[in-house]
A = this chain, B = another copy of it.
Amino acid sequence: MKKKILIVGGVAGGASAAARLRRNSEEDEIIMFERGPHVSFSNCALPYHLSGVIDSPNRLVLMSPEKFISQYNIKARVNNEVIAIDRENNTVDVRDLVSGEVYKETYDKLILSPGAHPIVPNISGIENVKIFTIRNVVDIDKLNRYLKEIESNDVAVIGGGYIGVEAAENLREAGFNVSLIEATKQILKPFDYDMVQILHKELYDNGVNLIVGDKVESFEKDIVVLSSGKKIKASAVVMAIGVAPEVKLAKEAGIQLGETGAIKVDKNYKTNDDDIYAVGDAIEVYNSLTNSMTKLSLAGPAQKAARSVADNINNKSTINKGYIGSSAIKVFNYNGASTGLNESLIKALNMNINYDIVNVILNDKVGIMPEASPMHFKMLYEVPTGRILGAQAIGKGDVTKRIDIIATVIKFNGTVEDLKDLELCYAPPFSTAKDVVNYVGYVGSNLLNNDFKQVNIDKVRELVESNAFIIDVREKREYENGHIKNSTNIPLSELRNRTNEIPKDVPVYLHCRTGQRSYNATLALQNLGFTNVYNITGSFLGLSFYEYYNDKTMNRESIVTEYNFK
């Protein structure tokens, strides 16, 4: 039977649903309403227009309404806003934003994919600055044109989420003086505080004026005033503190919202109305690791949900196992990726879960190959089961590969033992024979078996301040090029002959450059009868990254004589 299906919103979720609906049925009438002038554009690529990586804003638009009709027989009505839903009569009111005319359309099924809008809080003095947000092609084009016209080079980005950081990076690449202002103590919440310091440093090193832990208090004429009293010049202010799901239309029609304030849907993305579905940034989804509802503003899940809806409408079976959340970002020369749980989330949700971490730095490919570089990797696993809970990786190389593998293992409820067993593709240009992913499996397995103990780099400052006994097992030459203050240098190559210099009555903390030599040293000392030995995960390289940005910006004393980032 021929159905008439209306779709509110023509970007990721809406366009995917429409295309799948057409493939499922040639006879159905499909109308997609988009209040903006473009359907099917790449939201995620928007910031890259600011640096010129994507030169023309037109390139951001992937499909035109003309193509939708000619190739898919889908009516894509741009500049048409659905303003009301009459659930009783299965109709919607649509306003043609060009003519101003309001008309009705009937539906058999209605799919809501309205997205989420950038939050612009009513901060005092907001009329004194030029505010921009980044949601669509019009927004980014407007921002870009404005910046080209003005003489000043000063731009402030408020909010250190993905969009904020990408905007800051691309504006900096375009030559602007960019301030990136984040109210909490770190940017990019998918990364833990210890990991994200690498990206703090990268922004800082690339000349972005990164300010964390400071809030926008008010605005003066082309100036952002922070809680600390700092004043930041800004001829343009990009507001990127977060997004709020577009629920007005749904709410007014009596569609039920969930605990998060987003639209509540069932396993098939159906709302409390049997004829109305919802997908994308406007809905809440089930996080299968936290066992709670969450808003997940990601393109992949939106497209997956859209496809499910199109299939459900056509009586095809679909599966919904919930979400774990995987994401990635490029920040100048570094790539970052994360999946599943991290420590801050576990703490924020007060989750009752016993976990431990693996924190390692390993070469992303064979060390002697050009462009081999250290990858910082942190993984969380459940104790005592070894079940993988989440992971984060940051480095100049292929971090998404490793996090994708972990994300895959999480979907299968895999454990650290499973990581050990993975057979990954190896050739010197791509990886190492024992990949980072295998390696973290080994470390996790050793930790679970209580083969050794560790402390994380975020505890080292405390150790130094309390005069703990720290042994640097690198060679003398390495030690002389920068080391932890008051640490003792006993190279691994001399360790077995110098055990008499190591106390047995106090804890001993070992490190090297990346943690591998000190791991060997830790086991050697344990086997030689030292019972209170800890390997410092992340070691000197990790510590240098961890301390650097805060040292530089907080004017505090460094705990190392010199940093080492190699």
Also in contact, A426 and B368, with CB within 8 A (given A405-B404, A421-B411, A434-B303): no
**Residue among A25, A303, A423, A425 with most chain B CB within 10 A:** A425
B368 touching A423, Cβ below 8 Å: no
CA A53 – CA B371 in complex, angstroms?
11
Partner of A407, one of B299, B368, B423, B494: B423
Question: Chain A, 51-72, contact with B by CB distance < 8 Å: what is the 0/1 string?
Answer: 0011000011010000100111
A115 within 8 A of B: no
CA A473 – CA B302 in complex, angstroms?
29
A300 touching B434, Cβ below 8 Å: yes
A30 within 8 A of B: no
A22 touching B520, Cβ below 8 Å: yes
Query: What residues of chain B lie closer than 8 Å to A494, measured between beta carbons?
Result: 70
CA A211 – CA B436 in complex, angstroms?
38
A368 touching B42, Cβ below 8 Å: yes
Query: What residues of chain B lie closer than 8 Å to A403, measured between beta carbons?
Result: 425
A417 within 8 A of B: yes
Give A446's nearest chain B residue, CB to CB: B23
A368 touching B71, Cβ below 8 Å: no
Give A296's nearest chain B residue, CB to CB: B423
Give A408's nearest chain B residue, CB to CB: B408
Query: What residues of chain B lie closer than 8 Å to A369, measured between beta carbons?
Result: 45, 48, 53-54
Query: What residues of chain B lie closer than 8 Å to A368, measured between beta carbons?
Result: 42, 45, 54, 59-60, 62
CA A71 – CA B528 in complex, angstroms?
15
A433 touching B324, Cβ below 8 Å: no
A124 within 8 A of B: no
Give A425's nearest chain B residue, CB to CB: B328
A430 touching B335, Cβ below 8 Å: yes
Query: What residues of chain B lie closer than 8 Å to A162, measured between beta carbons?
Result: 427
CA A438 – CA B407 in complex, angstroms?
13
CA A163 – CA B302 in complex, angstroms?
44
A366 within 8 A of B: yes
B408 touching A425, Cβ below 8 Å: no
CA A527 – CA B62 in complex, angstroms?
26
Partner of A433, one of B44, B412, B424: B44
CA A404 – CA B62 in complex, angstroms?
30
A536 within 8 A of B: no
Also in contact, A431 and B496, with CB within 8 A (given A369-B48, A411-B418, A520-B71): no
CA A304 – CA B445 in complex, angstroms?
14
Q: How many A residues have CB within 8 A of the partner chain? A: 93
Shortest C-beta distance, A75 to chain B (Å), equals 14
Also in contact, A425 and B339, with CB within 8 A (given A319-B417, A400-B431, A411-B418): yes
CA A412 – CA B410 in complex, angstroms?
11
Partner of A45, one of B44, B325, B366, B422: B366
A493 within 8 A of B: yes
Query: What residues of chain B lie closer than 8 Å to A367, measured between beta carbons?
Result: 62
Question: Chain A, 377-409, contact with B by CB distance < 8 Å: what is the 0/1 string?
Answer: 000000000000000000000101101110111
Also in contact, A414 and B417, with CB within 8 A (given A26-B528, A527-B27): no
Query: What residues of chain B lie closer than 8 Å to A438, measured between beta carbons?
Result: 300, 304
Partner of A366, one of B44, B401, B435: B44
A73 within 8 A of B: yes
List A residues 306-330 near B (Cβ within 8 Å): 307, 316, 319, 321, 323-330
A4 within 8 A of B: no
A337 within 8 A of B: yes
Give A340's nearest chain B residue, CB to CB: B423
A510 within 8 A of B: no
B401 touching A423, Cβ below 8 Å: no
Query: What residues of chain B lie closer than 8 Å to A323, measured between beta carbons?
Result: 423
A492 within 8 A of B: yes
CA A528 – CA B72 in complex, angstroms?
13
Query: What residues of chain B lie closer than 8 Å to A304, measured between beta carbons?
Result: 420-421, 434, 438
A429 within 8 A of B: yes
A299 touching B329, Cβ below 8 Å: no
Shortest C-beta distance, A15 to chain B (Å), equals 11
A121 within 8 A of B: no
A301 within 8 A of B: yes
Query: What residues of chain B lie closer than 8 Å to A62, measured between beta carbons?
Result: 367-368
Task: Give 27 pairs: A residue, B residue, CB < 8 Å, sorted on A.
Answer: A23-B520, A23-B524, A42-B368, A45-B368, A48-B369, A48-B428, A62-B368, A162-B427, A298-B426, A298-B433, A303-B434, A307-B442, A316-B449, A319-B420, A328-B425, A329-B427, A330-B429, A338-B425, A400-B425, A400-B431, A404-B425, A404-B435, A405-B405, A405-B408, A407-B422, A407-B425, A411-B421
Known pairs A44-B366, A45-B368, A328-B425; list 6 more (Cβ under 8 Å).
A12-B433, A339-B425, A398-B400, A404-B424, A407-B423, A409-B412
